[in-house]
Amino acid sequence: MLGIFQKLVRLSRGARVLAKHGVLPPEEWLPLTPPPVRFLARFVPRGRAAGTGRSGERLARAFTELGPSYIKAGQFLATRPDVIGPAIATDLSELQDRLPPFSLSQARAILAAELGEEKLARLGTLGDAVAAASIAQVHKVTLAPSSEAVAPRSLAIKILRPEVEAEFARDLSAFAWAARQVERLGSEARRLKPRAFVDTLARSVALEMDLRLEAAAADEMRVNSLHDPDLRVPAVDWDFTSRRVLATEWIDGTPLRNREALLAQGHDLKRLATNLIQAFLRHALRDGFFHADMHPGNLFVDASGKIVVVDFGIMGRLDPQLRRFMAETLAGFLARDYHRVARVHLEIGFVPPHHAVEDFAQALRAIGEPIFGRPASNMSMARLLGQLFEVTRLFDMPMQPQLVMLQKTMVVVEGVARQLDPEHSIWEAARPVIERWMIDSIGPEARLRDASAGIASLGRAVAALPEALQRAARIATELQEGGIRLHPDSARAIGEARPQALHWSSPVPWIVLLALVIAGFAII
């Protein structure tokens, strides 16, 4: 009971701040809000901030005031426009994950606990934080020269906030309890699956809390990018990386959002915009592994003109089927071949077969023609994908979370590209990458590779066939002779286990189970 009281206290603080900003709930969510929640919300006083700005802007401000757990929840909600609405999702995508830094003494204490005094001494003087977010902050350090290195080298050291794991655990536990109560309020509340949302958020946060996993993501993307001409990923220094500390090479670069500085340095902004779009699509289609947090604060340009990406806490993956779906969909829209796009949806099984290809193609034409009828500089790939996902719901296509994440990231990437070059043509930049993927993955050479792989698999199966036939013959013989003979140890184990087995035909276990359920509801 004390645990429930503590959860209610934490949730009541959230309710007061949301009400202060006039978003308990936002007006757009009222039709989806269970009547008991709407009734209780009427008794929470609204603050002065309730009348300033759009609902999404006020919700973003409320989440920022509530702190790290709510900021992460808001960023996660931004990936679900199908649930919260496109307008609020757009506003929440602007939610800034910035907090005041924690002290240098706390940072050094964490480094000493994680790395040991010897490695801490090698890090030298720890400077002020260069960036601070809800989960971690980043410092620049310069290693003293060692026997392996004749010159000093600099590292970016990312350190988890003190007690951040416990703070998130308390809030996520309160969220999970609230989600369970909400689902009891009716079928509409259950349809929105609040418990599944909290579970997914908790898994995402758990991954971000272990910086070794972020290091692995950074290293995987670095390997994938080794031969890319236009993108660079900092190398991980595994010697100074642990669960709560991540060390990568320090990058001296100009922020991609600093247009004036880039021009003064002689960089070609049109080329940078094209390189950014192509690098993002290359990772998504070629590798099936993309950076899903490519906001301007995570993008830099080094002296050679390469784009450098940092912060790998949020990544997206596309399996081969989703990659094929994306490439063929984009290629079909580029060719304005709406029947082709419709066929891909049905072939992959995203749209059920009871829908006619012609009807779906007609709906796709209603999306594509208004976009492709604009000047090239105004055609948005992210907008097209967003409208595509809205229309596919009418044709019973289930939501694909990774595709939504891709689309939301594309919104940000397009925005950065247009800041660099207002006349940038997203589709013309994307065309070579899409066509290259189509040739490599479903062209004649790819079909020959698939065929040779299939023949090799068939050869292995044929080679194993005699042994499989022998095993089948032995089993058939044993059955004819009175049954399969068990090893004595196996027979003894089965005999010993049988008396201990639960016999569910007896009413006793069911009575016990029912009593436990009733007790659980009584406690709640």
Per-residue tokens: 172: 């996520």
Nearest to 438 by CA among 289, 292, 362, 334: 334
H runs (alpha helix) in 234-337: 259-264, 269-282, 320-334
Regarding beta strands 245-249 and 315-317, do their DSSP bridges make them parallel or antiparallel, or are they unpaired? Answer: unpaired
Q: Which residue has the tokens 């480094």?
A: 111
Report the SS3 class of residue 131.
strand
319 — phi, psi (to 5°)?
Answer: -75, 170
Alpha helices in 78-193 (DSSP H): 81-84, 86-92, 104-115, 117-123, 164-183, 187-191
Angle at 16 between CA 11 and CA 20, to 5 degrees: 145
Q: Between 211-224 and 194-209, two packed helices, what is the crossing angle to 10 degrees?
A: 80
Query: For the chain, what's the residue count?
Result: 524
DSSP output for 395-416: TTPPP-HHHHHHHHHHHHHHHH
Of the candidates 214, 216, 237, the residue with the CA atom closest to the CA atom of residue 135: 214
- For Cα atoms 139, 255, 245, give the angle at the middle one, nearest 5 degrees: 25
109 in Cβ contact with 117 (< 8 Å)? no
Q: What span, in angstroms and rounded, lies between the C-alpha atoms of 176 and 473?
A: 55
Active site residue 440: no
CA distance linking residue 278 with residue 276, whole number of Å: 6
Q: Helix, strand, coil % (nearest 5) of the chain?
A: 65, 10, 30
Which residues, 6 or more positions from 238, have their beta carbon under 8 angstroms from its beta carbon? 215
Active-site residue (options: 97, 293, 311, 421): 293
Provide the token pair at 177: 């309890």
> Other C-beta atoms within 10 Å of 109: how many?
13
Contact 95, 75 (CB under 8 A): yes
Rg value, the chain, Cα: 28
CA angle, 48 as apex, 43 and 50 as ends, to 5°? 70
**Could you give the 3-state DSSP secondary structure of residue 349?**
coil
Largest pairwise CA distance in the chain: 89
Nearest of 432, 75, 386, 388 to residue 277 by alpha carbon: 432
Q: Give the pair of three-digit tokens for residue 399.
A: 């939501």
Distance CA 262, CA 270 (A): 11
Active-site residues: which are they? Answer: 293
